[in-house]
Structures are given as structure tokens and as C-alpha cells.
Structure 1
Amino acid sequence: MTILLGIILALLIFSVIVFFHELGHFSMAKRFGVKVDEFGIGIPPRAKQVWKDSSGTVYSLNWLPIGGFVKMKGEEMNETGAHDKDFLAHKNFLEQSTVILAGVIMNFFLAFLIFSVLFMVGVEPLGINTKFQTSTETKLIPSFDEAVRIGLVKTDGIILSPLTGSIAEKSGLLDGDILLSIDGKTILSPEDMIMKVKQSTTVMNFTVQGSGGIRTLLITPEDGKIGSYVGHNVTEIRKD
């Protein structure tokens, strides 16, 4: 059943891509006065003529519901009427090129539109928490944030590790130091720290705890960086 749904979904996605591709050819052909004999959804033979517009273009549904097509006057080399104004070959080079390339351009536009919507709306990462029968019991862990949320991973603060010769190391930051606060404010995630450092151009007060006890370090970011790895301080990973 899962395989069948996958095949159906793949065909649906393919059909949408082809539809927009052919729509690009169709719209530019109409724009430049090329006669479009038929705009069809699916692959012939024709199942039904849905509509015929005033210019004579037939809009059809076809028996094999995959993709679609645009039939323009002048696509076939042996067609008569090469000197007709609505013949594709009668159009100038720029117009012919635009009609031909419009399909690809429309696909790029579709991809841009889809990704823009996804970025604006946001997409939750796919989390998997499924057990499989193997020689040893195995559990696939979802994204780290989701793992923390559902309690698979427990964290306690943010751990730092300065790069050799970096601003952070020269300021006294040690490998394994736990970040307690920046400028007196508690930092809840590595992303928050990175953003705060990027936005600062002046000296910052880092309060950290490590082998040297609790210390306050004065660190001035350079180009929005202090030269340190940053991550969650993982204290426990559930194995049940």
C-alpha cells in the first residue's frame, strides 16, 4: 500500500511539474500570437473536449492522466502554412526562443514559489521514533531539538570550546566551559548565543563555569565571531 501511494504521489508531482512547464509554452505562444491547436492534460487519446475558446484552441482531458501537452501550429516541419502569421516558424528568433524556453522558466518560477512558501510557513523536521527488530534493539533519534522536547535527550546549559589562537581562547575561555550568561542575561540555546554575538561590536561579559570555577570573561567579537564551538551540554540520553 505504501509503495502504491508513493507511485501515485510521484505521478502527481510529475504531472504538476509538466503542467506548469506546458503552461509556460502555452502562455508565451498566446502572447506572441502563435496559434495553439490544443492544450491537453494527460496523454492522448483524448477522453473529453472540455472547452474551445474563440481562437480555436481546444482544452482537453486525455485518457492517460500523466503530464500534459501543448500543440502549437508550426511545430511539425511538414505542416503547410509556413507563411501564416500565427505559424510558430513565422515568428522572429526572439519570440520563438521565448516560447521554447518559457517551459523551463516556468519550472524555475514554480520551484522558487514553493520554496518561498515553505520558508515563510516553516516546515517541521521529520522525526522518527520507531523500533526495529534487529539483533540488538535500536531506536532512530529524531532531530536534536525534537529529541530534547520529547525527553530523549536532557541538556544543562551551553558548552563552549575555543579554537586555538582565537579571541575566545586569548580571553581565557577553556575547553568545556559552560556558559551561564552574557551581559547578565541567561542564554537558552546555542542559536541565541550566536545571534547575540553577531549583533555585538563591543566588549561582552561572558560568565562561564568550568574547571577554573565561575569566571567572568571580557570578550570583544570580531566580525560577529569569537572563535568558539558552541553546543548543548548533553547530560543524559535515554536508552529505553
Structure 2
Amino acid sequence: MELIIKILQFFLCFTILVGIHELGHFIMARVFRIRVEKFYIFFDPWFSLFKFRRGNTEYGLGWLPLGGYVKIAGMIDESMDKEYQQREVQPWEFRAKPAWQRFLVMIAGVVMNVLLAITIYIGICYTWGETYFPNDEARWGYNFNEAGHRMGFRDGDRFVSIDGEKVDDISMLLNQLLITESDREVVVLRDGKQVTLHLTLDELIDMRREKGYENLFTLRMPFLIDSVAAPTAAALQRGDEIVAIDGVHDATYTEYRRYLQSKAGDTVSVTVLRGGERIAGLGIPISAEGTLGVFADPQPFELRTQHYTFWQAIPAGIHKTGKVIASYWEQLKLIVQPKTKMYEELGGFIAIGSIFPGSWDWQDFWLKTAFLSIILAVMNILPIPGLDGGHAIFTFWEMISGRKVSDRVLEAAQYVGLIIILFLLLYANGNDVYRFFIK
């Protein structure tokens, strides 16, 4: 059932993104009275799942879920249809329009994807607000996995800054740490003192390749007493923080629980912090089940939520979109730099589908849809022939030079672009197959 929900979310998201993107081209073409011959969600080689015609446009749903397209009259596109070149130029054709109009038609899909992301983020800010975990709530520090220990982190460290930038929102910490083409300087608070860790690019690359960033750090859970349940623990009070049991000190709740189980039926010496005062030597009998006779506070941390009115949500949504675009653009720049080896982390449809949860959560769905809409916009604006950015760059050249690029050059560029796109699709999806089924 979880797999079905993931698949449903993926296809709903993909349909929305492709539909909105192609709608942008469609609307702008119609604004300039350019005929749109086809409007398709997904591709339709050989046949389509269904189609109907209204006016001069055929609308349909293809069977190959790799995108979608609009076929604009008088333009070289993915269909490689060149029949129009044998005819007289018609006033309703793409090629008959001035360069600035053709340029706007080309970038309209990207603009629509950015506007979709803005709209979604505005809706999320207004409906749910922005909830995040602030770094200053991690008063007991973090535990680190093996990759973190190799880089010099110690359990109990608290983040202070990365390359001089203060750490606040923990959800953004990995981006601050990993999106880099150079070494990182991380300052942590350790035993009350600031310690600087110098992380080399090679270390960060190795961590990414080994997926050491997964669970790189987890919050240290303290043993805070929520209530006293047994008379034998009457010396303890609500709000006490257990900081030592016998010789075990500065441990996590799980570590203390493990030690208590080993002392079942015995008596231990407990040290607590109470109102800022350290109280030691509290002798507490341990039950036969290895329990202290208290209930621990299950949630000693507080998430922060920034709420917005409708009018406040508009600039907040625009700002959020800008931050995500800037972050993804930085990642994209790193992918094309061989020394970062981030190209090894490219993923295809399986990787995209795997980001959706196994249960339906509308807030999460819309967050991922907005993020993928930005990815689609950024990827399409790249100056690769065959993509919107490739078409736009030729039109922009015509606008500034006054010379139109010949159909023969456009046709050759389209073939080159299709080869590049096919290679990227095969490489990204090949990475998926290797990661999920072979490695």
C-alpha cells in the first residue's frame, strides 16, 4: 500500500508540473495568435491513451510518462516535424512572429513553474506556517554517526557556525555543510568551549559518496523527569534532569535506560540538576524490571512555527522560492564540476519517486511539488538545445544581432540537444538502477 501511495503522489505531482509548464507555452502562444497544433500530457509515440480536438488544437494524454509537450505551428521541436518548411510562411505560425514574442513563448513554461512554486509556498505559509527546529533548542547537543566521528565530531557537540555563518534552522544544516566546492570550517561548542573543525573537500566528497550524511547527527535525548510513579523514587521530582547514575554521566536517556536494566533489583546513586543546583548521592532502588520508577519527558524540545496572515504569506512565499532556487542552482553548479563528484548522485524517476512518503500528507506533498517545480524550471532554462533555454538562447541572439538562425542550424541543434537529454536520462536512471537494485 505504501508503494501505491508513493506512485500516486509521484504521478499526480508530475502531471501538475508538466501540465502547468506546457500551459505556459500554450497561453503565451495563444496571446500572440500562434496556432498550437497539439497539447499533450506525457508523450504519445505511436498512440495516445485518449485525445480530442477543439478548434485547431488536439488535446491528449500520452502513454509514456517522461514529460509532455505542446506542438506549436511553424517551430522545430521534439517531434522533428519539418513539413512546415516546405510551405509558405503563415501569419499564425511561430516563425512568422517577431523574435521578442517567440522568446516570451519559449520562457513561458519556466515562468509558470516558478509562479506555481511561489503560489504553493504562499499557500503553505498561510495554511500551515513555517515550522522548524532551531539550533539553540539542541541544548544537549547531538550524537553523530560513524562518518561524523571520522570527520572529528564528538557526541555532545553543538553546532555554532559553518564558514562563519551562524547555524539556526537545523533542516538547512546539511545544505550549509555539503553544498560546497571547497573545504568547510565548522565551529562547535564542546564542553563549554568553541572548537573549530576543518573539513576538507575530499572528506565531504567521501561522506556524500558513502551516504554518510544520512543520520549524520541526531538529537541527544536527556533524561528529564516528567512525573514520579513509584514511592521508591520519592527523592526525585518533576523537572529533575538526571546527569549521572553511579559512574555513568552525561549520557543520553537510552544509555541511562540500558544501564538501569543491567542494575535490575539493585540500588543506584543518582545525580540530578534541580533548579540549576547539582544534587548528588540520591540512592534509588531499581525494580526487578530495571526501571527507576519515573516517567521521562518524551518531548523536551520545542519546534518553532512562524505563522503568517494572507498578506504576510505573499512575500514569505516569494522569499522561500528565491532561497530554494539559489540553493538548487548552487547544487547544479557543483554537479558539473568533476572535483566535487556530485554527478554520481544524480537520480532519475525512481529517486524522485522515493522522496514521497508512504502515507498521504498534503503539506509534504505540496512542499515536494513546489521543490520539483523549481527543479523543472531551472533544468529547462539551461541553454541546452531541445530545452526551453536552448530555444530561448537562439531567439535572444536574434534579438540582439538582428540575424535569424537558419532552420538547418536549429534542426542540427535539436538533434544534439535530444542526444544530450537522452544521455542524461539514461545516466540518471542508470544510477537509480545501480543504487536501488545492484549496490
Query: Normalization by structure 2: what TM-score?
Result: 0.28
Higher share in helix: 2
Bigger CA radius of gyration: 1
Query: Normalization by structure 1: what TM-score?
Result: 0.49
Higher share in strand: 1
Highest RCO, 1 vs 2 (Cα 8 Å, sep ≥ 6): 2
